[in-house]
Structure 1
Amino acid sequence: MTTYVAFLRAINLGPNRKFPKADIVAATEGAGFTGVATHINTGNVRLDTAMRSRARIEQALETAYADRAGFAVPTIVFSASELAAIADEAVRLSEERGPLERHYLYLMKSEPEADRVAALLERDRAVDEVVVSGRVTHLLFGAGYQPGAVDPYGVEKALGVVATNRNLNVVRTLAEKWC
Structure 2
Amino acid sequence: MTTYVAFLRAINLGAKRVFPKGDIRRVVESAGFDDVDTHINTGNVRFTSGMRSRERIEEKIEAAFAADRGFEVPTIVYTAAEVAEIAATVQELDDEHPGLARHYVYLLKEQPSLDARARVEAAASGAGEMIVRGRAAHALLLPGYQDGRVDPLGAVKHLGVATNRNATVITAIAAKWC
**Shorter-normalised TM-score: what interval?**
over 0.9
* Alpha-carbon offset, residue 64 of structure 1: 0.7
What SS does the aligned partner of 2:163 have?
strand
**Alignment-derived partner of residue 28 in structure 1:** 28
1:167 aligns with 2:176: no
Q: Following the alignment from structure 1 to structure 2, what is the Cα–Cα distance between the partners of residues 158 and 4?
A: 26
**Deviation of residue 7 (structure 1)?**
0.1
Paired residues of 1:109 and 1:162 also in contact (CA < 8 A): yes
The residue number in structure 2 matching 1:71 is: 71
Structure 1 residue aligned with 2:110? 110
The one-letter amino acid paired with 2:175 is E
In the alignment, what sits opposite 1:42? Answer: 42
| Residue correspondences, number | 178
Call closer, same or farther: CA 1:15–1:33 in 2, change over 3 Å: same
Letter in 2 for 1:152: P
- 1:174 aligned partner, one-letter code: I
Q: CA RMSD in A?
A: 1.3
**TM-score of the superposed pair, with normalisation by structure 2:** 0.95
The residue that corresponds to 2:125 in the other structure is 125
SS at match of 1:40: coil
Once the 2 structures are TM-superposed, how far is the Cα of residue 113 of structure 1 from its aligned partner?
1.2
Structure 1 regions of 5+ residues with no counterpart? none
Give the match's secondary structure for 2:76.
Answer: strand
Once residues 48 and 83 of structure 2 are traced to their aligned partners in structure 1, the CA distance between those partners, rounded to angstroms, is 14
Relative to 1, partners in 2 of residues 1:163 and 1:125: Cα closer, same or farther, differing over 3 Å? Answer: same
Q: What is the CA–CA distance in structure 2 between the aligned matches of 1:78 and 1:109, rounded to whole Å? A: 9
Structure 2 unaligned segments of length 5 or more: list them. none
Q: Please state whether the residue corresponding to 2:152 is helix, strand or coil.
A: coil
One-letter amino acid of the counterpart of residue 12, structure 1: N
Does the 8 Å CA contact 1:156/1:162 hold for their aligned counterparts? Answer: no
Distance 1:150 1:40 in 2: 22
Residues 46-78 of structure 1: CA deviation (Å, up to 9, x unaligned):
000011110011011101111111100000000
Which TM-score applies when normalising by structure 1?
A: 0.95
- For residues 143-163 of structure 1, give each alpha carbon's deviation from its aligned partner in whole angstroms, at most 9, with x where no partner exists: 33336434223444223x100
Q: Contact 1:128 / 1:140 at 8 angstroms: preserved in 2?
A: yes
Q: 2-side partners of 1:164 and 1:16: how far apart?
A: 18
Structure 1 counterpart of 2:124, one-letter code: D
Moved more, 3-12 or 134-143: 134-143
Are 1:177 and 2:176 counterparts? Answer: yes
